[in-house]
Amino acid sequence: MSRSETLFAHAQKHIPGGVNSPVRAFRGVGGTPLFFKHAQGAYVIDEDDKRYVDYVGSWGPMILGHSHPEVLDAVRKQLEHGLSYGAPTALETEMAELVCGLVPSMDMVRMVSSGTEATMSAIRLARGYTGRDTIVKFEGCYHGHSDSLLVKAGSGALTLGVPSSPGVPAAFAKHTLTLPYNDLGAVEKTLAEVGRDIACIIVEPVAGNMNCVPPAPGFLEGLREQCDAHGVVLIFDEVMTGFRVALGGAQAHYGITPDLSTFGKIVGGGMPVGCFGGKRAIMECIAPLGPVYQAGTLSGNPLAMAAGLATLRLIGRPGFHAELSDYTARMLDGLQQRADAAGIPFVTTQAGGMFGLYFSEADEIVTFDDVMASDAERFKRFFHRMLEGGVYLAPSAFEAGFTSIAHGEAELSITLDAAERAFAALARG
Task: Give catalytic residue positions.
Answer: 142, 237, 265
Packing angle, helices 184-194 and 219-230, rounded to 10? 10
In angstroms, what is the minimal distance from the CB of 338 to ligand PMP? 29
In angstroms, what is the minimal distance from the CB of 141 to ligand PMP? 7
CA atoms within 13 A on the CB side of 134: 18
Burial of 378 (0-12, 13-18, 19+ CB in 10 A): middle
- Contact yes or no for 416/54 (Cβ under 8 A): no
| Separation of alpha carbons 269 and 72, rounded Å | 10
> Nearer Cβ to ligand PMP, position 121 or 328?
121
Q: List interacting residues with ligand PMP (CB under 6 A).
A: 59, 114-116, 119, 142-144, 204, 208-209, 237, 239-240, 264, 274
In angstroms, what is the minimal distance from the CB of 209 to ligand PMP? 5
In angstroms, what is the minimal distance from the CB of 265 to ligand PMP? 7
> Nearer Cβ to ligand PMP, position 267 or 342?
267
Long-range (24+ apart) CB contacts under 8 A made by 165-174 are: 172/147, 172/148, 173/147, 173/148
3-state secondary structure 281-312: HHHCCECCCCCECCCCCCCCCHHHHHHHHHHH
> Nearer Cβ to ligand PMP, position 142 or 358?
142
| Separation of alpha carbons 355 and 403, rounded Å | 8
Nearest 10 degrees: Cα torsion 308, 350, 29, 2? -50
In angstroms, what is the minimal distance from the CB of 143 to ligand PMP? 5
> Nearer Cβ to ligand PMP, position 273 or 335?
273
> Nearer Cβ to ligand PMP, position 254 or 423?
254
Nearest residue to ligand PMP, scored by beta-carbon proximity: 115
Helix (H, G, I), strand (E, B) or coil at 193: helix
